[in-house]
A and B are shown apart, each in its own frame.
Chain A
């Protein structure tokens, strides 16, 4: 089946999106440490049930029972 011709983003749009992504990473890197710890704890809570379904977890592999 012949491929349908699709419109593609302009070089400027792609570059702007990459710049936006880079700026977001830099912004995340500059967050206060307490906020980063809060994000880490949140990521642990979200990832835990997914990882648990994928493989057996070791005893210590669970969300930390701490506050930021």
Chain B
């Protein structure tokens, strides 16, 4: 049976082949690496795409690479070794920074990148909503959140704490 690390191995390959420039695991799944696990049915991978002159961003090269490897597409998710992964293009500068500064972790000998807790919290506070605010509290309770770093991010990106 496949493991989560098999999915991370494929994401790393996509980066090595230049299909994505850089990535970081975000969303509820990223929280698992900093706090207690919360239930989710998909894995969000935030990505930076290679520079392009095209005016409109398309994920078709990514989907095409997935299809070539035999991975099925399902409603904007790519089923990679049993894990539905949604690739999300970084929506703004905070997202870019969250990807660029991601922590490197290892699972079954496979390294992968995961957003740091302060960036997860800043992105959730920026997006708003009760569920996201609750997740910020879970991060706080875990003791993994550096409040000073978070405050600086909120100030830098003019986000209401």
Contacts and interface: CB of A to CB of B under 8 A. Distances in A.
A16 interface: no
B interface, by DSSP: helix, strand, loop or mixed?
Answer: loop
Q: Quick one: which of A22, A31, A33, A60 has the most chain B CB within 10 A? A: A60
A37 B107 CA distance: 11
Interface in A1-50: 22, 25-26, 28-29, 31, 33-34, 36-37, 39-40, 43-44, 47
A60 B79 contact: yes
Interface residues of B, number: 30
Contacts, number: 78
Contacts of A54: none
Contacts of B82: 64-66
A58 B41 CA distance: 10
A2 to B, nearest CB: 37
Interface of A: 22, 25-26, 28-29, 31, 33-34, 36-37, 39-40, 43-44, 47, 58-68
